[in-house]
Amino acid sequence: MPLTEEARPGEAVNAPVEFTSDFKGKDVLLIGSGYSAEDIACQCYNFGAKSMTITYRSFPTGCSNWPGSIKEVPLLERVDPYGRTCHFKDGSSKDVDAIVLCTGYLHDFPFMPESLRLVTGNRICPVGLYEGVVLEAEPIVFYLGMQAQFYSFTMFDAQAWYVRDVIMGRLSLPSIEEMKAHSEKWGVAEGEALAKRDVKTFQANYVKELIGLTDCPVTPQMVDETLQMGSDWDKHKELGIMSYRDHPFRSAVTGSLAPEHQTPLIQQFDDSLESYLTH
């Protein structure tokens, strides 16, 4: 049934907003510490969840300004059978009403013959792909968009132009040995980027390499401007995890500045296009 959102202490809401939420008043456990976990925790907070616990395997989200109802703990080890108590690696425990998996994706291509099937984890430098797209085991097969992503559509564009030129014979592929050696160097760079937690720069360099090989209209300046936006975005998150989405950015392609949303994220309970355009 529709519920009426009340203003949180110290927050102003112009008028009551009706919404439904599966997690209102509940304790929620989020498994994973990536952007999905961050977004879902913020949404649960907005819609009145009682508490959100984020459990991580390798690293916490890095956010230092979560509201008091959001907490990060090391990896979940077990859930009591027939109960609701979750136990974590640091010895702590928490009773929860719901568990949300934010653990990323598995590459799976069961429709492809085994000899043509990409087998890799969810990485920023997938195993077995020369220039991130050419299947080294069978270089007439291409996989686009297999990377853990920061640039997403810009990167997809660069990959598509590269693959087009290979198919049309504008670019020649090196030997299998040379492809593997090239991929190995990128794999080493990936490890260094992960150690420094600087995957955005790593992927910027990858996109620049691709566009440097074709006449793709994406320019190095666009890539650098997008990288700077990512840095600014991270700073906004450091200043306020619940308000960073309120900052508009300028397109690196068109130069157009996005309009500033009239309603702060913390007070936005309707994700429809109509609501976005009118509030």
DSSP β-ladder status, 85-88 and 93-95: antiparallel
The pLDDT tens digits of the residues spanning 32-71 come to 998 899 999 998 998 899 999 999 998 898 888 999 999 9
pLDDT band at 212 (very low <50, low <70, confident <90, very high): very high
pLDDT band at 279 (very low <50, low <70, confident <90, very high): low
pTM of the model: 0.81
pLDDT band at 2 (very low <50, low <70, confident <90, very high): very low
pLDDT band at 148 (very low <50, low <70, confident <90, very high): confident
The pLDDT tens digits of the residues spanning 72-88 come to 999 999 999 988 999 99
Is the per-residue pLDDT at 122 higher than 80? yes
Is the per-residue pLDDT at 15 higher than 90? no
Instruction: Report the share of the chain in percent with pLDDT over 70.
Output: 91
Mean pLDDT of 256-266: 83
Give pLDDT, residue 17.
38
Distance (Å, whole) CA 152 – CA 49: 31
Long-range contacts of 138-146 (CB under 8 A, 24+ apart): 139/173, 139/176, 139/179, 141/116, 142/166, 143/118, 146/107, 146/118, 146/120
Give pLDDT, residue 64.
86
